[in-house]
Amino acid sequence: MLLGACSSAPPWPEPGPTASPVYEKEPLAPPAGEAIKQARSLWTPVAWSELPGWSQDDIGQAWPAWVRSCGKPSQAWVQTCQNIRALASADAQTQRDWAMRALQPYRVTAPDGQAQGLLTAYYEPVLQASRRATSDFNVPLYAPPAGLRSGTPWYSRQEMDTLPQAQRALQGRTLMYLRDPIDAMILHIQGSGLLQVTEPDGLVRDVRLAFAGTNEQPYRSIGKWLLDRKLVRDASWPGIKAWIAQNPQRTQELLWSNPRVVFFKEQGLPSGVEPPGPTGAQGVPLSAGRSIAVDRQSIPYGTPVWLVSDGPTTRLQRLVLAQDTGAAIVGAVRADYFIGPGQEAGELAGRLKQNLQLWALWPR
């Protein structure tokens, strides 16, 4: 989505391949221009002084994520991205000075002016898997079946487990197997994962399973299913696994309460280096702690966003990039914060649910 009203290039010379950007040391202008109406949000221009904690964040840590977004810029960002790339090795203060002259901050609110929203988080699981089904590894993960169509509901999770015609459609589509059905559910919800796969020859190989589609069924939270029935007080993933350990005969009932299933595609990983983040909906790798999923009808992909959230789990005041989306990420002031890979990230992601304020940054 392009914002034609605000797509003019910033008034800075375009740097050459090795040049540094040049800009005048002029006083910062007060907020100007009209509010921008998005499909699900209203952007109101504000002064930089209204962004809580703006001067404290090391925004250089967000710069690699910003450069990645500039690999797939919208038309509004094409010229500005030349400066962003040229500033990649600059110090944080130089980067901040440039941003305050080149960009205009906008307070993101709902159309009715509501400025408070909800922040949740997601992560990338790291799991053990097997290429072959065994007594320990018997929970399949599938590639998209033939005939799957975007926007057209396919078989539900329960139907995939019970209907012969669904099982026939899945023949030959198994990528690998996990030990734990809840780990598989976590992988479906997060959308991607890093897997250490035991191959038929016994070798272990690191791969990523990336999102490749869904059965287009609605998502239903299994944690909420347990809470609504007063079966647990702790609906975190450890709490859910503890309940299953005590009630194994109800595992399928719990899983079937969420009809949505994600299909995957396998991606190789570079050896000897830390793997890049999973690819978000913008088509660029996500950056731990600096990427968020948003409602695209509120904030376009590639938009730098000042995120503020203060709650029982964490306190955040930082520059992030809108690089992903999700089925549950709907509304003006709504974001899903990408924490990174592994168990520690997963524990934090499972707890994070707190207030949110957002400011979008856009070329002047």
For residue 268, the model assigns a pLDDT of: 83
Give pLDDT tens digits along the chain (364 positions): 322 233 222 222 222 233 333 333 333 445 667 899 999 999 999 999 999 999 999 999 999 999 999 999 999 999 999 999 999 999 999 999 999 999 999 999 999 999 999 999 999 999 999 999 999 999 999 999 998 998 999 999 999 999 999 999 999 999 999 999 999 999 999 889 999 999 999 999 999 999 999 999 999 999 999 999 999 998 888 889 999 999 999 999 999 999 999 999 999 887 777 888 999 999 999 999 999 999 999 999 999 999 999 999 999 999 999 999 988 899 999 999 999 999 899 989 988 999 999 999 999 9
Q: Which of 276, 305, 271 is nearest to 288 (CA)?
A: 276
Token pair belonging to 180: 């734990």
Of the CA atoms within 13 Å of residue 90, those in its CB half-sphere come to 21
Q: Mark 201-238 as b/e (b = at least 16 C-beta within 10 Å).
A: eeeeeebbbebbbbbebeeeebbebbeeeeebeebebe
In one letter, which amino acid is 93? Q
- So what's the pLDDT on residue 26? 36
Q: What does the pLDDT read at residue 5?
A: 30
Give the angle subtended at the CA of 75 by the CAs of 120 and 288, to the nearest 5°.
30
Helices vs. strands in the chain: H and E counts, helices first: 10, 15
How many Å apart are CA 261 and CA 216, to the nearest integer? 8
Domains, the chain: 124-268 (2.40.240.50)
Query: Which pTM was predicted?
Result: 0.80
CB 238, CB 137: distance < 8 Å:
no
What pLDDT shows up at residue 34? 87
Note whether 48 and 96 are within 8 A (CB).
Answer: no
